[in-house]
Amino acid sequence: MSHLLVLGEGWVGAAVAGAAADRFTVSVIDPPFHPVLHRRDGQAVAELQQLITQRQITMVINCCGRLRGNQAELADANTNFVAWLCVALAGTAVRLVHVGSASEYGDPLTADLVSETNPQHAVGDYACTKAAGTEASLLARAQGLDVSVARVFNIVGHPIPEVSPIHQWLSDLQALGTSSGSIDVWWPETTRDFVMIEDVATALVDLAAADNPPALVNLCSGIGLGFGAIAESIAAELGIAVAVNSLNKPGIESVIGNPELLQQTIGWIPKMSLELLAKRVTGSDPTSASGGSSSANR
């Protein structure tokens, strides 16, 4: 049985390890907290390569990174670590799947589906450092490393992490109890592409196991959901009559991924709808992931 190494023990890393458990032997390491790997020096390179050799690891999925922090912290986690990892894996013959971000596209200036060939307009420290991590991965691929970057779009699940705006809307709605009322949304017309955490994990495992995956692939649903409509759907799932107030703080209007290359590579596309999202984040439907080859084997 092939051996998969998952880097990162957070939300995504734990989900990936779970999705892969019935297909591969799985090891999980959190490099920032590892006694040797956190140094990223020559000894750390030797430690990682020895681990790969001893455990006969053939695939690595990098789920490490930071969503918050100052510019230096974000650059260290999202760019510098990725560049070091690519150097450390050079010559090992392993397959690396690196978790990128839809934020790297920035504002696509269109409501059309965003393909992997769309230009990047990353804005802000998080998006820019993730984009730099992707560039480091693509450079390593050009130099011979078997690496593929999955640009993951907006992840949802239960419980929903506090970093998601959906967490705030859900909390505000739950605070209303059984009463009707109103909640605030920065800009209700904002539209994004959401993917269930289980589908993200399964797709990452499938990419790691795929034959010749592309250098860059969108991990998305291809479905755009408006923020105001999401809040209303969650309210309906909770049985609450709610009015959505706009704070009139528009940002990037629409970012919806094109999943065609993903389907060509792994054979399936994550499902998404307002109803599925509302049921999932409220916890009323814990099995709403659409799945793929990994989940089919559970």
> What domains sit in the chain, N to C, each tagged with a CATH number?
3-296 (3.40.50.720)
Could you tell me if 150 and 99 are in contact, meaning their C-beta atoms sit under 8 angstroms apart?
A: yes
State the pLDDT at residue 277: 98
Q: Are 281 and 233 in contact (CB under 8 A)?
A: no
Candidates 262, 253, 216; CA nearest to 117 is: 216
- Which residue is associated with the tokens 């490393």? 145
pLDDT, residue 133, reads: 98
HSE, side-chain direction, 13 A CA sphere, residue 48: 29
Q: For every residue of the chain, which 3-state class applies, written as one string?
A: CCEEEEECCCHHHHHHHHHHCCCCEEEEECHHHCCCHHHCCHHHHHHHHHHHHHHCEEEEEECCCCCCCCHHHHHHHHHHHHHHHHHHHCCCCCEEEEEEEHHHHCCCCCCCCECCCCCCCCCCHHHHHHHHHHHHHHHHHHCCCEEEEEEECEEECCCCCCCCHHHHHHHHHHHCCCCCEEEEECCCCCEEEEEEHHHHHHHHHHHHHCCCCCCEEEECCCCEEEHHHHHHHHHHHHCCCEEEEECCCCCCCEECECCHHHHHHHCCCCCCCHHHHHHHHHCCCCCCCCCCHHHHCC
Indicate the pLDDT class of residue 178, thresholds 50, 70 and 90: confident
Span 238-262, pLDDT tens digits: 999 999 999 999 999 999 999 999 9
pLDDT confidence tier of residue 285, bands split at 50, 70 and 90? confident
pLDDT of residue 293: 55
Rounded to two decimals, what is the model's pTM? Answer: 0.95
pLDDT in tens, 14-58: 999 999 999 999 999 999 999 999 999 999 999 999 999 999 999
The band of 296, judged by pLDDT with boundaries at 50, 70 and 90, is: very low
pLDDT value at residue 291: 66
